[in-house]
Amino acid sequence: MTNVQEMIERRERLLGPGNPLFYEDPVHLVKGEGVWLHDADGNRYLDCYNNVPCVGHCHPRVVAALCDQASKLNTHTRYLHENILDYAERLLGKFDESLDRVALACTGSEANDLALRIARVATGGDGFICTNATYHGNTTAVAQLSSIFEPIGGYGENIRMVPWPDAYRAPENLGGEALADIYADEVRTAIESLTANGIKFAGMIACPIFANEGLPNVPDAYMEKAIAYVRDAGGVYIADEVQSGFGRTGDWWGHQQSGVVPDIVTLGKPMGAGHPISGVVARGELLDDYRRHEMYFNTFGGNPVSCAVAMAVLNVIDDEGLVAKAAEVGEYVLQGFTELQEQHELIGDVRGRGLFFGIELVNDRKSKEPATENAKTIVNAMRHKGVLMSKIGEHDNVLKLRPPLCFSRENADFLIKTLDDVLVAA
């Protein structure tokens, strides 16, 4: 039996207060396998939250690749090694041919920090646009582009935040391209504001599926319109695919359905299924230009072990058909959530892209008042019924689900049934 209270006290004493923990009753995990997590008391949880172990917890092929390479050699990349070359070649093969260079690092934050500098060199500018309900990472520079937490010292004058494209809360008589125009105009206005203040525009960073914003149904052609403004103004588009990449959406990359090929793509979380590896994929001239201006070297980035692990992840995704599976099972789950919506007034909107879901809870379907408290209650109740998930969004009222990509229809049935039970009791 776990003494949870004692562990929490040790955390506070050693790590300090304010370290985020999930759930009112935090979970003490000891084992992971596929879509399942086990706690120290022998309870089993269906993992509907963790996108990092994308191929399933402790996938034997990933663990084997890790152990095999770790027992042979692990060095930085100032020596030659085939793993980084084989991985880079394989990874770039998954992208549009215009995206033909990669730099490897360890975390999504490092990837986004580097991407910002690549954009600065490419444009000579320093003005960046992000949305007003997002998070892109934890370095000093990247924290400037995170609206969820205000950075220390406040925001720089070079940052503009635009409303994220929220189709659900848009005026009822607006939809499709008309709505896209309204939101894209916000991008144009932000660029004009930078220019008017003498700040040269560098680009826009956005998650192509707006995951942190609450996974909205993006109005048709929004990305084409917004990025056209960005490019017309000489800026670059950085697609933050740290959450949306590697099959999550039922495509390899979240940007594939947006109608726009980014100039720079950043990768992270699922790339090594938990092993710290991240990357920046970019048009060759952008990365080369950057390297002519500034040395970038990352001691652990692209080492033989990280690349062996990341290659195993690609292999498993391909061999187990997980991209197609994410699309197919994702469709099935979305159908189940839509049926729940018909039965439960609390569910205002149901959204999904592959195996990434947002269920927006509202106190009233007409006013769309966010049901923030209910979201909290439901997430905690699900935890006690053996399903791990979380919540997200500007109003913290969107249930957030993104299980490992090996999630099955059977797992989906359990999730939907449990959520139904919890909603009945809510």
Closest approach of Cβ 225 to its own copies, in Å?
30
Of the candidates 351, 339, 418, the one whose C-alpha atom is nearest the C-alpha of residue 381 is 418
Can you tell me the distance from the alpha carbon of 177 to that of 166, in angstroms, rounded to the nearest whole number? 13
Can you tell me the distance from the alpha carbon of 315 to that of 265, in angstroms, rounded to the nearest whole number? 21
Phi, psi of 144 (to 5 degrees): -65, -20
Of the candidates 210, 271, 414, 246, the one whose C-alpha atom is nearest the C-alpha of residue 325 is 246
Sites for its own copies among residues 293-312 (CB under 8 A): 293-300, 302-303, 305-306
Q: Is 268 within 8 Å of 101 (Cβ atoms)?
A: no
Sites for its own copies among residues 68-107 (CB under 8 A): 70-82, 84-85, 88-89, 92, 101-103, 105-107
315 binds its own copies (CB under 8 A): no
Sites for its own copies among residues 229-268 (CB under 8 A): 268
Phi, psi of 55 (to 5 degrees): -90, 10
- In the list 56, 127, 216, 274, the residue contacting its own copies (rule: CB under 8 A) is 274
Q: Is 151 within 8 Å of 144 (Cβ atoms)?
A: yes
Residue whose CB is less far from its own copies, 109 or 249 = 109
Residue whose CB is less far from its own copies, 335 or 380 = 380
122: amino acid identity, one letter: A
Residue whose CB is less far from its own copies, 294 or 421 = 294
Closest approach of Cβ 192 to its own copies, in Å?
23
Can you tell me the distance from the alpha carbon of 131 to that of 226, in angstroms, rounded to the nearest whole number? 12
Residue whose CB is less far from its own copies, 295 or 424 = 295
Sites for its own copies among residues 42-71 (CB under 8 A): 50, 52-53, 57-58, 60, 63, 66-67, 70-71
31 binds its own copies (CB under 8 A): yes
Sites for its own copies among residues 103-132 (CB under 8 A): 103, 105-110, 113-114, 116-117, 120-121, 126
For its own copies, which stretch binds (CB under 8 A), given 8-16, 351-359, 361-369, 412-420? 8-16
How many of the chain's residues bind its own copies (CB under 8 A)?
100
Exposure string of 106-117, with b = 16+ CB inside 10 Å and e = fewer, is bbbbbbbbbbbb
Of the candidates 283, 307, 354, 242, the one whose C-alpha atom is nearest the C-alpha of residue 123 is 283
